C-alpha cells in the first residue's frame, strides 16, 4: 500500500491528519496537471480544490486497483473534463488572452520547476497538442508508468506508448525550432 492509500485509509477512519498529508503530497503536481487540461491557472486551482473537496466530503471508495496517485489524478481529470464541457462556449478567446494565460502558467510552473532548463522545457511543451502535454507531464514530471497513464486517460497502454513517442518527436521538433541542438536536448 502506498503512502497516499495509507493516508486515505487513516482519513476514512477519522484521522484528519491523513487528509492533510494527501493535500500536501499531491496539490502542486495536481494543479499543474489540471492546468495542462484547462489552460487557466485560476480554474486549475479551483478544480484542484474541488478534487480534494470531493475526496474529503464524498469519500469515494478507493479499491486499490491502481496506485492511489493514479486514482486521484483520474478523479481530477474527470473534473477537468466536466469543467471543459460546461465552459466550452466561453473558451473562445483572442491570442492575447492565451499569451496572458501562458504567462500565468509559466509563473506557477516557475515556482514548481526551479531550474531554468526545466522552465524552457515546460514552455516548449506548452506548444504541443494537449494530449501530448498531458502524457509527457504524467510520464516525466509525475513519474507515472505507461500503464498508470493509460488508466488515468482511459486509453490502452499501446495507445499511451504511441502518444508518448509522438509527443517526444513533437517536443524535439519544437526545441530544435527554438534553437536547441541535439546536445542540448
The model's pLDDT over 150-164, given as tens digits with 9 standing for 90+, comes to 999 999 999 999 999
57, pLDDT greater than 60? yes
Q: CA angle, 28 as apex, 13 and 174 as ends, to 5°?
A: 145
User: Would you state the cell numbers that stand for residue 143, as one nine-digit string?
Assistant: 513519474
SS3 (DSSP) at 128: coil
pLDDT at residue 106 in the model:
56
pLDDT band at 117 (very low <50, low <70, confident <90, very high): low
Q: Which residue has the cell 506508448?
A: 161
User: Would you state the cell numbers that stand for residue 140, as one nine-digit string?
Assistant: 516525466
Q: What is the mean pLDDT of the chain?
A: 82
pLDDT at residue 96 in the model:
46
CA distances from residue 49 to 55, 80, 87, 132, 168 in whole angstroms, order as listed: 10, 12, 18, 25, 31
Amino acid at each position: 500500500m502506498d503512502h497516499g492509500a495509507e493516508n486515505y485509509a487513516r482519513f476514512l477512519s477519522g484521522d484528519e491528519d491523513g487528509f492533510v498529508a494527501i493535500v500536501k503530497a499531491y496539490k502542486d503536481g495536481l494543479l499543474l496537471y489540471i492546468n495542462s487540461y484547462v489552460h487557466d491557472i485560476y480554474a486549475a486551482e479551483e478544480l484542484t480544490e474541488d478534487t480534494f473537496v470531493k475526496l474529503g466530503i464524498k469519500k469515494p471508495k478507493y479499491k486499490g486497483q491502481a496506485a492511489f496517485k493514479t486514482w486521484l489524478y483520474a478523479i481530477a481529470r474527470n473534473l477537468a473534463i466536466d469543467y471543459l464541457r460546461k465552459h466550452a462556449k466561453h473558451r473562445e478567446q483572442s491570442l492575447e488572452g492565451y499569451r496572458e494565460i501562458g504567462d500565468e502558467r509559466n509563473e506557477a510552473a516557475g515556482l514548481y520547476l526551479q531550474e531554468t532548463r526545466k522552465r524552457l522545457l515546460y514552455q516548449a511543451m506548452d506548444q504541443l497538442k494537449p494530449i501530448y502535454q498531458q502524457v509527457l507531464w504524467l510520464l516525466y514530471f509525475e513519474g507515472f508508468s505507461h500503464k498508470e497513464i493509460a488508466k488515468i486517460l482511459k486509453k490502452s497502454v499501446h495507445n499511451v506508448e504511441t502518444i508518448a513517442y509522438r509527443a517526444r518527436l513533437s517536443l524535439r521538433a519544437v526545441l530544435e525550432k527554438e534553437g536547441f541542438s541535439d546536445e542540448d536536448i
